[in-house]
Every structure is written in structure tokens, then in C-alpha cells.
Amino acid sequence: MGLLAAITSSTASYVLAGTFIFTGLNHLHAPSDSPVPLLGTVNLIYGTSAMILLSAAWIKPHKSLKLFALITGAIYLAISVVGSFDLGIVSPLELFSMFIVLGLVALNWFAVASVATYRATPNQPFESDA
């Protein structure tokens, strides 16, 4: 994967990780008798781990980073699905939100995979058309 894919996907992933952290911090201020602080903690942990994994892929790429990104994404997706089953899936919008979460998790995994693949390949000579 090329530099453009690595930069574009990692920028989007950093923005998404920051959004997860921001919403996690906002959910922590909810009343303690609701399950919202638990959701905030899960968002905060996932956003932080996504940011750490992506930063590690830029600093020192390793094959296991792709697997770690996949595992953390699968755990977050599983917790999100289980969290939506508290009263049953009430509307199609709740099911649609699970597909959105799946897309966000897939984007984070793709970003880590593209950066790790780009950084693991040796430098290619720059070819100009001029």
C-alpha cells in the first residue's frame, strides 16, 4: 500500500480515535445509575488503544500490530453488540448503528494495516515523470 493510502487512512483513524476518546470522556459525566459511564469507559479504552496501535505502526511496524488492531476492534464490536441487546434491538436504526460501528472498526484496522505494510517495505526509489 502506498504512502497516500497510509496517510489518508491514518488521518481518518486519528480523527475517529479522538472522537471515541471525546465521546468516552463525555459519557463518563453521565449519572452513575445508568450504564452510560460503562459505555464511556469502553469508548475511551478503544479510542486510546486505536491511537496507540496506529502510532506504534508509524514508529516501529510489526506484523502483530495488524492482529492486535483486529482483536481490539472485534472486542469493541462485541461489546457494542452486547450493549445494544439490553432491551433488545428496538428499531432498525440500532441495527444500522452496528454496521456503522463495524465500518469504523474496519477503518481503524485498515489504517494500522496500511501503515504497517508501508513502513515494513524498504524504501523504493522515487521515480519522476519529468
Q: Where are the domains of the chain?
A: 3-120
The CB density around residue 41, as the number of other CB atoms within 10 Å, is 13
Contacts 24+ apart (CB under 8 A), 40-47: 42/76, 42/79, 42/80, 42/83, 44/20, 46/20, 46/72, 46/76, 47/16, 47/17, 47/18, 47/19, 47/20, 47/21, 47/22
| Strands (DSSP E) found in the chain | none
C-alpha cell at 129: 515523470
The 10s digit of each residue's pLDDT in 33-90 is 767 777 888 899 999 999 999 999 999 888 889 999 999 999 999 988 887 776 566 6
Mean pLDDT score of the chain: 84
Three cell numbers written together for 97: 448503528
Please provide the size of the chain in residues: 130
Position 91 pLDDT exceeds 80: no
| Interatomic CA distance for residues 101 and 83, integer angstroms | 13
**Grid cell for residue 40:** 464511556
